[in-house]
Amino acid sequence: MAFYGEDIPTEQLIPQVKQLFQGQTTYVQPSAVDNATPSDGSFQAPLKGSWRSSGGFDPISMRPNGRKGHLGVDMRAPAGTPIYPLAPGVVSSVGTDPLGGNVVNVQHANGIRSYYAHMSVVKAQKGDKVDKNTILGNVGNTGNAVHTVPHLHFQVWKDNQIQDPAHYFSVPKYAPLEPGEKTWLSEEAKQEAQAFNMQSHLSSRRVAFSGEVDQLHKLATLFDSLVSSQL
């Protein structure tokens, strides 16, 4: 009984309602596999192309800005570079904050959560199921990175404890900025970033969800009518 994301006419809904009423529709209980990482436990770097480290994992040392530690790795790449999940999972949150700018969190199996910050553009929505080829968004320098070169600040957590990303993929040593490093992946990526608005992005999800609720309401109304006719 599939009507997800479709505007189905009433005459097509009626047979589906009858099937539901007659007990012919099978409901499958979602399993934990829906949030699972690959069965082989493999992970990947969120940037598939070449990148340089602008800062590694160091939860203890004091930083020049007075803050203690660096709880992730800064993956330097041209703004607009696609960002991918550490592993398959479900997007648990999307939003903006003063430090991370445009951010995404992905929940994986086994208590693992990954965090992606300073994105120029976000393509994912909360609740999205993602795999290792899903583009979450693009590298940028939003939030407190606005005066730095574009990079992805990446964190990984397990059971609410911060982890060293180097336990999940190869992290190179810190590399200073070199003359001639590309700032933007392309002019198109720059224009896309300039046009991106987080509120509009989040609103687009609410509009899509509202359409699905309308379909559910229509289906429920028809079901109630059929039940009443049998009494």
Q: Which of 27-31, 53-57, 138-142, 216-220 has the highest mean pLDDT?
A: 138-142
Q: From CA 107, how far away is CA 154, in angstroms rounded?
A: 14
What are the residues whose beta carbons fall under 8 Å from the beta carbon of 198, sequence distance 6 or more?
95, 96, 102, 122
Predicted local distance difference test score (pLDDT) of residue 38: 37
Predicted local distance difference test score (pLDDT) of residue 66: 60
* ∠ CA 127-130-131, rounded to 5°: 165
Residues of the chain with pLDDT > 90, as a percent, come to 55
Per the CB < 8 A criterion, the answer to whether 71 and 57 are in contact is yes
The rounded Cα 179 to chain-centroid distance in angstroms is 32
| DSSP H or E segment with residue 201 | helix 198-230
pLDDT digits (tens, 9 = 90+) for 153-173: 999 999 999 999 999 999 988
Domain boundaries, the chain: 35-196
| Residue 160, number of CB atoms within 10 A of its CB | 7
Q: What is the mean pLDDT of the chain?
A: 79
**Mean pLDDT of the region 209-217:** 55
Label residue 138 by pLDDT band (50, 70, 90). Answer: very high
Per the CB < 8 A criterion, the answer to whether 144 and 98 are in contact is yes
Q: From CA 63, how far away is CA 58, in angstroms rounded?
A: 10
Predicted local distance difference test score (pLDDT) of residue 174: 86
Q: Which two tokens stand for residue 217?
A: 């309401």
Range name among 16-25, 138-147, 196-205, 208-217 with the lowest pLDDT average: 16-25
Predicted local distance difference test score (pLDDT) of residue 216: 58
Please give the residue that has the higher pLDDT: either 43 or 71: 43
Match domain 35-196 to its CATH number in 3.30.2130.10, 3.40.50.10280, 2.70.70.10, 3.40.50.1000: 2.70.70.10
Per the CB < 8 A criterion, the answer to whether 114 and 108 are in contact is yes
**Mean pLDDT of the region 143-157:** 94
